[in-house]
């Protein structure tokens, strides 16, 4: 086993497995290793990057490519980065792998570095509640997330026995005829203990789309009209699904697989049960940003 790990550590990563730009930056994010911080806030919307970085005392790096916009700077003496991921776990696959490469791959030798670095990845995103008693404009932390996409089926990963039992119960509660193969991933316990203090936590669903995958119908008809009822009615050992969004399960799963620490904050802009939508979404998101930055400044 030791010789296998040594060979793996010394293996050269090919130019097609890890693509670099002409300036040496990683392909999609357009970032150099020195551009990132150990604490990284991810947001979906590129325009939300400035909503976060306006609170920085100083911004030293501003870069963008496609939907990936990043600002790196400081709050006090703490270096911090905010990065937009775009929507969905397909983008999370790119973002998490390229952030890990920036932290843990020597771009000159194309080999894994000695002494792997663990990043703090903190998602600030919007979400819809699937329980009537989760108020619109509130803040909720994802203790666990169930992915309805396929991302983590492409990666070797491990779950605890309680997670496996919860996932099995959820699968059995899905509507008859469903062909889903969901996966489950948890927030980093250390970050959860620090950041979720006095904030409600719950189980999030990460959907692979916004409309039918989240039970919406505009013109195209869903094949599973009972999906949202199954999600909102699910419970297991006093645990329930609280909200639905599109990235958290992928972030949690890949972060754990790569040895990073992740936590996801959800600004609840809608309640799917009461059919209410926020009248002040920007203020709700801004309050979430302020809360997260205050906790980073005081704890990390």
Which two tokens mark 57?
């005392």
The confidence score (pLDDT) of residue 255 equals 98
> Looking at residues 54-63, what average pLDDT do you find?
97
> How many Å apart are CA 89 and CA 251, to the nearest integer?
8
Helix, strand, coil shares of the chain, percent, nearest 5, are: 35, 30, 40
- Sign (positive/negative) of CA torsion 18, 20, 26, 27? negative
| Mean pLDDT for the chain overall | 95
Which two tokens mark 162?
């309680």
Inform me whether the pLDDT recorded for 2 exceeds 60.
no
Inform me whether the pLDDT recorded for 3 exceeds 90.
no
> Looking at residues 154-178, what average pLDDT do you find?
94
12-to-9, 58, 104, 150, 155 alpha-carbon distances in Å: 9, 37, 13, 28, 20
The confidence score (pLDDT) of residue 4 equals 43
> Looking at residues 135-145, what average pLDDT do you find?
98
For 156, phi then psi, to 5°, come to -70, 130
All structural domains of the chain with their residue ranges: 2-299
The confidence score (pLDDT) of residue 179 equals 86
Closest CA to 80 of 65, 69, 94, 70: 70
Inform me whether the pLDDT recorded for 6 exceeds 80.
no
85-115, pLDDT tens digit by residue? 999 999 999 999 999 999 999 999 999 999 9
> Looking at residues 75-79, what average pLDDT do you find?
93
> How many Å apart are CA 295 and CA 216, to the nearest integer?
35
> How many Å apart are CA 255 and CA 123, to the nearest integer?
12
For 241, phi then psi, to 5°, come to -85, 130
The confidence score (pLDDT) of residue 172 equals 94
Q: Say how many C-beta atoms besides its own lie within 10 A of residue 240's C-beta.
A: 16
The percent of residues above 70 in pLDDT, for the chain, comes to: 96
205-261, pLDDT tens digit by residue? 999 999 999 999 999 999 988 999 999 999 999 999 999 999 999 999 999 999 999
Closest CA to 136 of 245, 271, 228: 271
Q: Which residue has the higher pLDDT, 299 or 272?
A: 272
Inform me whether the pLDDT recorded for 291 exceeds 50.
yes
CA 178 to chain centre: 25
Q: Tell me the fold of 2-299.
A: Rossmann fold (3.40.50)
**In sequence order, what are the beta bridge partners of 73?**
59, 80
The percent of residues above 90 in pLDDT, for the chain, comes to: 91
pLDDT band at 5 (very low <50, low <70, confident <90, very high): very low
The confidence score (pLDDT) of residue 9 equals 56
Q: Are residues 122 and 38 in contact, defined by beta-carbon separation less than 8 angstroms?
A: no
Which two tokens mark 188?
């980093």
The interaxial angle of helices 248-258 and 89-104, nearest 10 deg, is 30
């Amino acid at each position: 086993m030791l010789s296998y790990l040594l060979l793996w550590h010394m293996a050269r990563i090919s130019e097609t497995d890890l693509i670099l730009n002409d300036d040496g930056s990683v392909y999609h994010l357009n970032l150099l290793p020195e551009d990132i911080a150990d604490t990284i806030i991810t947001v979906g919307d590129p325009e939300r990057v400035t909503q976060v970085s306006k609170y920085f005392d100083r911004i030293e790096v501003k870069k963008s490519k496609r939907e990936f916009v990043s600002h790196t700077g400081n709050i006090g003496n703490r270096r911090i980065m905010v990065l937009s991921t775009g929507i969905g776990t397909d983008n999370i696959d790119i973002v998490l792998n390229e952030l890990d490469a920036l932290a843990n791959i020597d771009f000159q030798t194309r080999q894994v570095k000695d002494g792997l670095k663990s990043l703090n990845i903190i998602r600030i995103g919007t979400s819809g509640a699937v329980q009537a008693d989760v108020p619109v404009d509130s803040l909720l932390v994802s203790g666990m997330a169930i992915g309805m996409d396929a991302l983590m089926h492409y990666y070797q990963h491990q779950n605890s026995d309680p997670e496996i039992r919860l996932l099995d119960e959820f699968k059995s509660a899905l509507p008859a005829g469903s062909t889903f193969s969901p996966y489950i991933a948890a927030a980093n316990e250390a970050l959860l203990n620090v950041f979720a203090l006095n904030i409600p936590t719950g189980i999030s669903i990460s959907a692979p789309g916004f409309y039918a995958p989240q039970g919406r119908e505009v013109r195209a008809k869903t094949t599973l009209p009972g999906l949202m009822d199954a999600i909102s009615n699910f419970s297991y050992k006093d645990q329930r699904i609280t909200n639905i969004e599109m990235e958290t399960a992928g972030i949690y799963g890949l972060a754990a697989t790569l040895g990073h620490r992740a936590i996801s904050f959800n600004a609840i802009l809608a309640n799917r049960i009461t059919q209410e939508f926020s009248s002040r979404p920007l203020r709700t998101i801004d309050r979430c940003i302020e809360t997260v930055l205050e906790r980073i400044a005081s704890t990390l």
